[in-house]
């Protein structure tokens, strides 16, 4: 048993996100207890097929598989197996039909899935284009993007109460008449924040790009051409937006359907939120990953892959994941029926970059690409063999037909392999994430007693000690940039091997993705990282290379391309050393740039103004001292209102202002928020309680800034006189660059964002 190998950081993540808790949020489960709970639950599914199975022995085997950190299932399985919720799947795809009933059925179903801890993918391609007629009402359709915003709002509401955040993928076909609006819909980082978006690319479109010709736009209702666009110009528009902020990604729809094992059940239209799992409507998939670092064995000259151990691990993992399908408590019976009909599983890998380091192979080398082909080819072949062996005992998946034979063998599972992002799982496993390169080799933490601790990649630590170079000064230098590329103290041959994400050319990212894709049933989740100075043409070249190399999709991220980004790697203090993280006094998480609000002064001065709101009157009291506004109070009149909501807003405003957030930023965030009670009423002085608070604090700030306080007149400045600037937007699902929970630097991978400090993931 290898529980002792779980790092302190991994233990923190497990306690915060995975272990069972009491009503007050205190852990009531040990790490060993969690793994035993999962192993017992998944092993028990064997009894469905053989009542003589020794499920205790099988549970012990599954327990060892996980505690040795050789394999870990996706997060919902670790969280929910053997507990009341019992929802074990990570990813789902739901249809969006072209009717009001169908659309809002999907909104409801998505909410149920998000509540249970899953992520959802949607294609909005069936929805008629904006401006087209709606026969039943005589009106005009508002189009796919307007309904994406409805789904986004529902996700925002549901995700507040869960341990995993709701995440979505939104797909629109390249030939939909609203494709230009879709490509542009996330140009503003504040829009549709709970969605990743991808354009569904067809082979015909890519041929038109290469031929510099036009292509047709197709009415989704009539299936008739209703216009045409220049393929090259649309492709360049996609590239331009991806260069600006990483969205949209692209998926190659025809390739997804080329490998659709059950075409009689429909067409694949979408994927899960990170793009690696194409699914039919109402399908779900259970994912899990093998830790490739644990598949290495030491030799007299270094390390090599132990393919015997890898084969045994693959067989156990396929058995485990097939059992998950039967142990699962699906959020909708329709999803359960559809999933059991195809029994898709997605076995992938993590720790690939760390394994290459231990082997002494540069990530950006032909040798690494060739090894990826060999290792993933072996996993795929062994996985299919394990699925075929299960089919002999349990039967094939119900939709099996001769056309679904793999290497001439009947299969238990329609698909077996998937390369998923493994952000939180790789923290637990103590290895690099998925098939991504190492993001940064070192960063600095500040421990609660004020001492600094430098977190260093364990493989690099071992190498530096072997070379006699391990020192605090060198580690601080590495932490300043995250890379060792400029550390001349380290031999060049070592620097050539220990490359990080930004040391690698984008084309080498694609070559690695393609190598894994060649031996993966589903798709590969990976982010192609670009330096900030990368050009649009470089992004374009990568998209074209991904197409030519046989990838099923591609996601890119250009460093610094989103305006709210704060880079923590490279931030230094006054002594020229990397800035350390400060421990948050509330949650004790180490974080960069944490600000404590200043204490409330003993004596304040202030104003109270009566504001008319939709449900009566709101009294807003704004107090200030010599440093500016320090607190806001609200009180509702006799007519009622929303006292808890307005009080919560006032408290947060007070804390924000005492923490140094500017009045303008608070104003920008609250102004214009509209309450339904104001919609049909004339003469409103504000549109909601938050809007009222915004107006009053801006008014008071003008008074105390521009006039002697003891003679302050109390007149609202004209809206046009309020200085305007681009608001600083709170971190949200699509544009976070520092962790919203602990403040640490985050990593972009596979269309997802992960914090390796606390385990936060925007994709759940």
Q: Which residues pair with 456 in a beta bridge?
A: 442
In contact, 667 and 719? CB cutoff 8 Å: no
Over residues 121-177, the pLDDT tens digits come to 999 999 999 988 777 666 788 899 999 999 999 988 886 455 556 789 999 999 999
Token output for 382: 């062994």
Per the CB < 8 A criterion, the answer to whether 377 and 308 are in contact is no
Angle, in degrees to the nearest 10, between helices 689-706 and 663-670: 160
Identify whether 304 is a catalytic site residue.
Answer: no
Task: Quote the pLDDT of residue 446.
Answer: 54
Q: Locate the domains of the chain by residue range.
A: 32-87+283-429, 91-271, 441-498+566-592+750-764, 606-721
Closest among 70, 61, 66 to 78, alpha carbons compared: 66
Q: Would you give the DSSP letter of residue 636?
A: E
Fold equal for 32-87+283-429 and 91-271: yes
Q: What whole-number distance in Å separates Cα of residue 122 and Cα of residue 92? A: 9
Cα separation, 377 vs 416, whole angstroms: 12
Closest to 511 (Cα-Cα) out of 488, 543, 465, 545: 545
What architecture is domain 32-87+283-429?
Alpha-Beta Barrel (3.20)
- Told to judge if 274 belongs to the known catalytic residues of this protein, a careful annotator would answer yes
Residue among 722, 716, 659 nearest 686 (CA): 716
Which residues are paired to 558 by β-bridges? 530
How far, in Å, CA of 208 to CA of 214, rounded?
6
| The pLDDT of residue 452 | 62
CA distances from 645 to 537, 607, 635, 654 (A): 48, 21, 11, 14
- Residue tagged active-site, from 91, 274, 739, 758: 274
Do 439 and 744 contact (CB within 8 A), yes or no?
no
For residue 113, what is the enclosing H or E element?
helix 100-115
Q: How far apart are CA 704 and CA 696, in angstroms?
A: 12
Catalytic site residue from 276, 283, 590, 741? 276
Decide: helix, strand or coil at residue 121: strand
Active-site entry in 272, 529, 623, 757 = 272
The CATH architecture that domain 91-271 belongs to is Alpha-Beta Barrel (3.20)
Rounded Cα gap, residues 700 and 629, in angstroms: 8
Question: Is 194 marked active-site?
Answer: no
Q: How many whole angstroms separate alpha carbon 753 and alpha carbon 463?
A: 29
Asked if residue 248 has a cis previous peptide bond (ω within 30° of 0), the answer is yes
DSSP 3-state assignment of 74? coil
Query: Looking at residue 582, what is its pLDDT?
Result: 36
Alpha helices in 395-535 (DSSP H): 423-429, 458-466, 472-481, 492-497, 506-517
Per-residue pLDDT at 576:
38
Q: Under a CB-based contact definition with an 8 Å cutoff, are residues 320 and 413 in contact?
A: no
The neighbour count for residue 582, using CB atoms within 10 Å, is 19
- DSSP for 3-65 reads GGGS-HHHHHHHHHHTS-B-TTS-B-S-HHHHHHHHHHHHHHGGGGT-TT--HHHHHHHHHHH
- Mark the ranges of the chain whose per-residue pLDDT is less than 50: 1, 160, 447-448, 564-594, 680, 708-735
For residue 692, which of 680, 700, 681, 702 has the smallest C-alpha distance?
A: 700
Tokens of 46: 């064997």
Q: How far is the C-alpha of 372 from the C-alpha of 696, rounded, in Å?
A: 61
Alpha helices by DSSP H, 285-413: 307-327, 333-342, 352-359, 366-394
The predicted model scores a pTM of 0.78
Pairing of strands 527-530, 553-558: parallel
Mark 237-255 as b/e (b = at least 16 C-beta within 10 Å).
bbbebbbbbbbbbbbbbeb
């Amino acid at each position: 048993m290898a529980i002792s190998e779980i790092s302190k950081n991994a233990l923190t993540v497990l306690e915060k996100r995975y272990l069972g808790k009491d009503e007050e949020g205190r852990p009531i489960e040990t790490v060993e207890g969690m793994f035993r709970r999962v192993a017992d639950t998944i092993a028990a599914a064997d009894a469905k097929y053989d009542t003589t199975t020794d499920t205790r022995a099988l549970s012990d085997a599954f327990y060892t598989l996980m505690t040795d950190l050789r394999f870990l299932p996706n997060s919902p399985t670790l969280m929910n197996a053997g507990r009341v919720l019992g929802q074990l799947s990570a990813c789902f795809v739901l249809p969006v039909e072209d009717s009001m009933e169908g659309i809002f059925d999907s909104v409801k179903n998505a909410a149920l899935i998000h509540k249970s801890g899953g992520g959802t993918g949607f294609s909005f391609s069936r929805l008629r284009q904006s401006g087209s007629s709606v026969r039943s009402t005589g009106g005009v359709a508002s189009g796919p993007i307007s309904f994406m915003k409805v789904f986004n709002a529902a996700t925002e509401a549901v995700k507040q109460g869960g341990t995993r955040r709701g995440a979505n993928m939104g797909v629109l076909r390249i030939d939909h008449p609203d494709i230009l609006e879709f490509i542009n819909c996330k140009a503003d980082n504040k829009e549709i924040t709970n969605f990743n978006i991808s354009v569904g690319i067809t082979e015909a479109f890519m041929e038109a790009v290469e031929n510099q010709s036009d292509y047709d736009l197709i009415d989704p209702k009539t299936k008739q051409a209703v216009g045409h666009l220049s393929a090259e110009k649309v492709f360049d528009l996609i590239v331009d937006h991806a260069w600006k902020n990483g969205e949209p990604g692209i998926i190659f729809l025809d390739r997804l359907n080329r490998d659709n094992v059950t075409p009689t059940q429909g067409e694949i239209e979408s994927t899960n939120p990170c793009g690696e799992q194409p699914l039919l409507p109402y399908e779900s998939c259970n994912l899990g990953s093998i830790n490739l670092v644990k598949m290495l064995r030491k030799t007299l000259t270094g390390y090599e892959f132990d393919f015997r151990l890898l084969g045994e691990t693959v067989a156990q993992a396929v058995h485990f994941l097939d059992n998950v399908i039967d142990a699962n408590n699906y959020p909708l019976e329709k999803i359960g029926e559809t999933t059991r009909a195809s029994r898709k599983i997605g076995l992938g890998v993590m720790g690939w970059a760390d394994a290459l380091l231990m082997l002494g192979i540069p990530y950006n080398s032909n040798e690494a690409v060739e090894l990826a082909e060999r290792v993933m080819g072996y996993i795929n072949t062994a996985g299919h063999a394990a699925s075929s062996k299960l089919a002999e005992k349990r039967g094939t998946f119900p939709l099996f037909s001769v056309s679904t034979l793999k290497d001439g063998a009947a299969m238990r599972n329609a698909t077996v392999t998937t390369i998923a992002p493994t952000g939180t799982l790789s923290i637990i496993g103590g290895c690099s994430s998925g098939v991504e390169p190492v993001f940064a080799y070192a960063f600095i933490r500040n421990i609660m007693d004020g001492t600094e601790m430098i977190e260093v990649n364990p493989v690099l630590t071992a190498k530096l000690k072997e070379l006699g170079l391990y020192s605090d000064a060198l580690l601080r230098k590495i932490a300043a940039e995250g890379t060792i590329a400029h550390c001349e103290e380290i031999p060049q041959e070592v620097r050539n091997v220990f490359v990080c994400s930004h040391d690698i050319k984008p084309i080498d990212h694609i070559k690695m993705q393609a190598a894994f894709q060649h031996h993966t049933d589903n798709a590969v989740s990976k982010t192609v990282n670009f330096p900030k100075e990368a050009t649009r043409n470089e992004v374009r070249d990568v998209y074209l290379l991904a197409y030519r190399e046989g990838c099923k999709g591609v996601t890119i991220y250009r460093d610094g391309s989103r305006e709210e980004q704060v880079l923590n790697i490279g931030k230094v203090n006054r002594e020229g050393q990397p800035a350390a993280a400060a421990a948050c006094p509330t949650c004790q998480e180490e974080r960069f740039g944490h600000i404590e609000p200043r204490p409330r002064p003993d004596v304040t001065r202030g104003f109270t103004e009566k504001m008319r709101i939709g449900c009566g009157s709101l009294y807003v009291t704004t107090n200030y001292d010599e440093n500016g506004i320090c607190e806001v109070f609200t009180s509702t009149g006799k007519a009622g209102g929303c006292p808890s909501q307005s009080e919560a807003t006032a408290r947060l405003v007070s804390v924000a202002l005492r923490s140094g957030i500017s009045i303008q930023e608070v104003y920008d965030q609250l102004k214009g928020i509209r309450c339904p009670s104001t919609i049909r009423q004339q003469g409103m002085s504000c549109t909601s309680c938050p809007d009222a608070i915004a107006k009053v604090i801006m008014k008071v700030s003008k008074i105390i800034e521009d006039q002697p306080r003891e003679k302050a007149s109390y007149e609202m400045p004209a809206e046009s006189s309020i200085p305007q600037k681009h608001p600083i937007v709170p971190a949200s699902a699509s544009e976070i660059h520092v962790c919203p929970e602990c403040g640490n630097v985050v990593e972009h991978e596979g269309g997802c964002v992960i914090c390796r400090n606390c385990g936060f993931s925007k994709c759940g």
